[in-house]
Structure 1
Amino acid sequence: MSPHILSGRHHHDDDEFEVPLSENWLWKSNNFSLVSAGIDIGSSSTLVLLMRINIKKSGSGRYAKFKVVSRELVYESPVNFTPYKHGGLIDSEKIRKIISAAFSGAGVTKDSIDVGALILTGEAMRSENSSEIGRSLSLDSGRFISVNAGHKLESVLAAHGSGAVDESIRSGSTVLNIDIGGGTTKYALVSRGQILASWALSIGGRLVLFNRDGFVEKVTTDFSNLSEKLGFELGPGSYVSVEQKKRLATSLADIVMKGTKGNEEVLNSFPELALTEFPDIGHYKIDGVMVSGGVGEFVYNASLPDFGDIGRELGMAVAAQIDKHGFRKLIPRSCLRATVAGVSGFTMQVSGNTIYCPSYDGFPLRNLPVIHIHNDDEEPLNDHIREKVESLGITPGRGVVLMFHWDEEANYSNMISFVKQLKAPISDLTESGGKVVLVTDGDIAQSLGHIMEEEGLDTSRIICLDGISLNELNFVDIGNPLDDVGALPVTVKSLDFNWRQYPKERK
């Protein structure tokens, strides 16, 4: 399957000149498609999703940008339980087999994957070898696979994958997406397409496992302590009746619903459950609630089979709580695959095709931190960039992205003035061995690069891109150039492998 061939025909007034779109050089430079892989290694399940992302160039001149115009599902894997070794370590060999089987099922090879992301979520992120697994799999799983982790990022991706973001745009409303997985519950408040806030709790459907007779086979220490606090004794070998499971699930669902308020109510009674800071969202009116994640499946369909955990009972209890609180229950586009769907379609951008990149040595580039620089006279750029590098802990030799807004005339005088300000800090960064990627929203990347050549900068370590939107504290991967296009695929992400223990005190 070639990701760069688009079906269809380009029609001219004279049929004699009809040619397939894929053979039209002008079409290929402005319209193309990518195969994207989304791999989610979660607390209880591992999923693989393959999508075709269709991209079109819109606008002209300095305002021209490549935009995603549609996404087509190519393949979705069956549900696989996330494999762990003794001691809670993720079994990397079995994970590789799951991914390989998914690629085979889709009829693709690693080389067929253009762009994508791998994310370790929930309890899987807490595994001691999570960062090692992420790095090794990102190198194994195709031309360009990123590693993403972090509760807030997962919340945002789930809100996109479930359809909550699209629903908020369609209806002009404020939607709360609750993503309940095997080990964590993530919230994302969305209004008219914008993520207003995200936060997370340590509650999930697979923190306790039962055998067929109702005896506890496995329970996490944290969940055992929580259950005891709620009046239930759960330990390996203890018996839990159907009625007790329902009552426990109701207590958990009550905490989940209190968490929808995003305030201190949950934290006062259960501070150990907080995985992130909780925002103040009391002034927002929630128009509807959407539930995704594995537990979300049971919110909308209680007749699904039990998986030997508390997920089914928790889903049913959450559904009852939503009705009790008077929320409008919205139907998600995807429940179990919400996070992996979000990864496949949300994190990828494409640069403009008038870029400056004299050397592709070392590509793909991974985990480049973003610094937003301000092109004004308030502070010299040299001091500004050095302060940012120090505050973000960017070590010598590490590549970095300098993002800036350009609203001036794209003439030589303005650009050379800007380059002269950048000369000293860029020289410092490149001399230590790192790549420097300048990213702007103006259509000046190629011109800027040539002026840097004139100024004697080491341009073998400099890249200039335009048509990309970034925020500070983003991290980006930059893939190999796209065939026939001259643009570069960019994946925006937030990495957080330093999972911190629950805060004992909150300000």
Structure 2
Amino acid sequence: MTQELLSVGIDIGTSTTQLIFSRLTLENRANPFSVPRIAIADKEVLYRSGIHFTPLLSDTVIDSEGVRAIVEEEYRKSGFEKAQISTGAVIITGETARKENAREVLSTLSGFAGDFVVATAGPDLESILAARGAGIDDYSKEHHTEVLHFDIGGGTSNLALYDRGELKTTGCMDVGGRLIKIDRETGSITYLSPKVRQFYDSAPPGCAARGAPLSVGEAAAPERLAPFVSAMVSALEEIAGLREPTGLADFFWTGGAAKMPLPAAPVPCVSFSGGVADCIWSPPEDWLAYGDIGVLLGRAIRESPAFRGTELVRGEETIRATVVGAGSHSTDLSGSTIFYRGVEFPLKNLPILKLTEEEERGGPARLAAAIREKLRWFADEGGLTQTALCLRGEKNPSYRAVKELAQGVREGLEPLLGRGFFPVVVVETDMAKVLGQALAPGISGPLLCLDGVSADNGDYIDIGAPVANGAVLPVVIKTLAFQKN
């Protein structure tokens, strides 16, 4: 049995806005006498949009109508209708996620997303999608090696470390090609990001002569910009373990992002994607070709003795890596067993509440008390936000274990049921169906249990309508953390 879904990826980045349409093929990989095991068997890119400069009304405001016009035009060119879309992602990345109206832009585009396309803006998910869109997860697995992937865009660099195909950690640095913008006709500086100003104000460690601070309106020259460009490259080298730590990696770390630990030894393999990656491998002759410092940054990475001394990998995608990841790799499927009753799909932006292992396995009373206590995190003046309860579960649970787990969940949620809130339970192990069956007799109204999904506090989940004859649910675990300076 196979089924096809049409997926869209929309990436609104610091420099560029792009779309991609992909076909995802679902396949049941279980034998005829086993529980269905539905998986995404194939991903095929059907249409790639042009690469558009992200329209801005000012340094702090996105032109939402301009973005909408780009999306409308690319839908028209692709030949696909909004009603055909089943899944995918709309992603606001880099410095664009810090704009004042980032959420407004996502709302403007929601009508193009079909019934189940997520809107995300968080460096962790962006890092993963860019690396997967560039094929680095597969490269790491096939070559049995550790790879640190840099997706270098206009405002930020998203990092993902893979070891033999397994994701180890992610990160985000304020390193990008449009932190300084330059008028191509006059050659004068038109924009300096806060990170550039901070660089000259705070004298970060590890920097030699920086010269006088840059200023908007002054003439730009490669040698004048070299100290800041060199510092960015040094920060990338440092996080890859290719030079002694000086504190530059810490300086360029994006505020609010968890810091990736410095490696104990140099990473054996480094890969690049993003718009600056094209300037590493085939930079234009004119260093002002894009009206920013992207060409200088790409050249500096290419000429770095530290990077030349390690294995460099060019991703399968460079400037399109994130949007390919968004359109082809953002969706996963729930596990082999699910239980749902009376649920109106899709469900979007449900915050995850994950309990500790001790709370989950401390018996029905302790589990119920922990659920009631922690659900207060999601309450406001308007009441309680619909939340997804995330449990670890057991691989081969006994009847008693399932019954006690169901009792704790039911008693913990009981005060809220029937008031616009219903149980959504996400289990890591394949036991959602039996747990749902145990919960159902004591709960009236909607009920949803799905499995095979791992999430944590701070994550959000989108759950699409059932596919594959109702056997599985498409899900996306995401971050909705809009960055602020």
Mapped to 2, the partners of 1:452 and 1:225 lie a distance apart of: 55
Residue 85 of structure 1: SS of its match in structure 2?
strand
* Partner in structure 2 of residue 212 of structure 1: 185
SS at match of 1:303: coil
User: Residue by residue, what CA displacement relative to the aligned partner does 1:367-406 show, whole Å, maximum 9, x if unpaired?
Assistant: 112233445236721123234434x545543122223344
1:500 and 1:86 mapped to 2: Cα distance?
16
- The 1:423–1:277 alpha-carbon spacing in structure 2 relative to 1, beyond 3 Å, is closer
Take 1:63 and 1:339, find their aligned partners in 2: how far apart are those partners? 34
Aligned to 1:108: 80
- Out of 41-50 and 348-357, give the one that drifted further: 348-357
Q: CA offset at residue 213 of structure 1?
A: 3.9
**Preserved CA contact (<8 Å) 2:175 2:252:** no
1:178 aligns with: 150
Q: Name the SS of the counterpart of 1:317 in structure 2.
A: helix
> For residues 117 and 250 of structure 1, what CA distance do their matches in structure 2 show?
34
Counterpart check, 1:313 vs 2:285: no
Q: Which digits, 9 at most, give the CA deviation of each residue in 1:237-256, with x for residues without a partner?
A: 21123444556533432333
Is the counterpart of residue 271 in structure 1 residue 258 in structure 2? no
**Contact 1:353 1:485 (8 Å CA) reproduced:** no
Q: Which residue is 1:37 aligned to?
A: 8
Aligned residue among 446, 450, 453 for 2:440: 453
Which residue pairs with 2:366 in the alignment? 380
Checking the alignment, whether the CA contact within 8 Å between 1:187 and 1:260 is kept in structure 2 is no
The change in CA–CA distance for 1:238 and 1:443 in structure 2 (over 3 A counts) is: closer
Of 77-86 and 145-154, the range deviating more from structure 2: 145-154
Matched, 1:418 2:405: yes
Partner of 2:240: 260
Where does residue 79 of structure 1 map in the other structure?
A: 51
Shift of 1:138: 2.8
Q: Which one of the candidate residues 293, 296, 302 is aligned to 2:283? A: 302
Moved more, 203-212 or 403-412: 403-412
- The answer to whether residue 344 in structure 2 is matched with residue 344 in structure 1 is no
Aligned in 2, Cα 1:473/1:324: closer, same or farther, shift over 3 Å?
A: closer
Partner of 1:464: 449
Q: Which moved more, 1:143-152 or 1:442-451?
A: 442-451
Show the counterpart of 1:289: 270
Deviations 1:70-106 (A, max 9, x none): 1101111111111111352111111111111222222
Aligned to 1:22: none
- Matched residues in 1 for 2:199 and 2:461: separation? 38
Q: Mind listing any 5+ residue stretches in structure 2 that lack a counterpart?
A: 204-209
Q: Assess if the C-alpha contact under 8 Å between 2:464 and 2:474 holds in 1.
A: yes
Alignment of 1:130 with 2:110, yes or no, is: no
Whether the aligned pair in 1 keeps the contact of 2:392 and 2:429 (CA below 8 Å) is yes
Specify whether residues 87 and 76 from structure 1 end up closer, same or farther in structure 2 by C-alpha distance, changes over 3 A only.
same
- 3-state secondary structure, aligned to 2:275: coil
Query: Which AA in structure 1 matches 2:455?
Result: L
Deviations 1:261-294 (A, max 9, x none): 4999454697365433423233254111101111
Contact 2:395/2:430 (<8 A) preserved: no
Corresponding residue of 1:203: 175
Instruction: Classify 1:377/1:216 alpha carbon distance in 2 versus 1 (closer, same or farther; 3 Å).
Output: closer
Q: What's the offset of the Cα at 1:325?
A: 5.8
Q: Is the 8 A contact 2:26 2:468 kept in 1?
A: no
Pair 1:263–1:434, CA change in 2 (3 A): farther
Aligned positions of 1:437-448 closer than 5 A: 437-441=424-428, 443-448=430-435
The 5 A counterparts of 1:121-200 are 121-200=93-172
Give percent identity, aligned residues only: 28
Asked if the contact 2:10/2:19 (under 8 Å) is kept, the reply is yes
Instruction: Give the whole-Å Cα distance in 2 for the aligned partners of 1:90 and 1:186.
Output: 21
Match of 1:8 in 2: none
Shift of 1:313: 1.2
The one-letter amino acid paired with 1:343 is A
Aligned amino acid, residue 426 of structure 1: L
CA deviation vs aligned residue, 1:219-249 (integer Å, no higher than 9, x gap):
3344245367632543232112344455653
Give the letter aligned to residue 473 of structure 1: G
Relative distance call for 1:50 and 1:264 in structure 2 (3 A) is farther
Q: Output the CA distance in 1 between the equivalents of 2:403 and 2:223.
A: 74
Shift of 1:364: 1.7
User: Which letter does structure 2 place at the counterpart of 1:421?
Assistant: G
Match of 1:3 in 2: none
**Quick one: distance in 2 between partners of 1:259 and 1:162?**
20
**Which residue is 2:206 aligned to?**
none
Distance in 2 separating the partners of 1:66 and 1:309: 46
Aligned residues: 467
Q: Return the alpha-carbon distance in structure 2 between the equivalents of residues 462 and 264 of structure 1.
A: 54
Cα distance change of structure 1 residues 463 and 216 upon mapping to structure 2, 3 Å threshold: same
Q: Structure 1 residues 190-199 or 433-442, which shifts more? A: 433-442
Cα displacement (A) at 1:140? 4.0
- Shift of the alpha carbon at 1:358? 2.2
**Residue number among 439, 455, 460 corresponding to 1:475 in the alignment:** 460
Contact 2:57–2:63 under 8 Å retained in 1: yes
| One-letter identity of the residue aligned with 1:367 | N
User: 8 Å contact 1:65–1:351 — kept in the other structure?
Assistant: no
Paired residue type of 1:223: V
| Alignment CA distance shift 1:350-1:461 (3 Å) | same
CA distance in 2, matches of 1:225, 1:464: 48
Whether contact under 8 Å (2:354, 2:456) holds in the other structure is yes
The letter for the 2-side match of 1:177 is H
Find the aligned partners of 1:245 and 1:268 in 2 and give their Cα distance. Answer: 17
The residue type equivalent to 1:152 in the other structure is D
CA distance in 2, matches of 1:79, 1:277: 30
Q: Quick one: distance in 1 between partners of 2:249 and 2:282?
A: 31
Task: Say if 1:425 and 1:135 are closer, same or farther in 2 by CA, change over 3 A.
Answer: farther
Measured in 2, the distance between the counterparts of 1:196 and 1:451 equals 36
Letter in 1 for 2:190: E
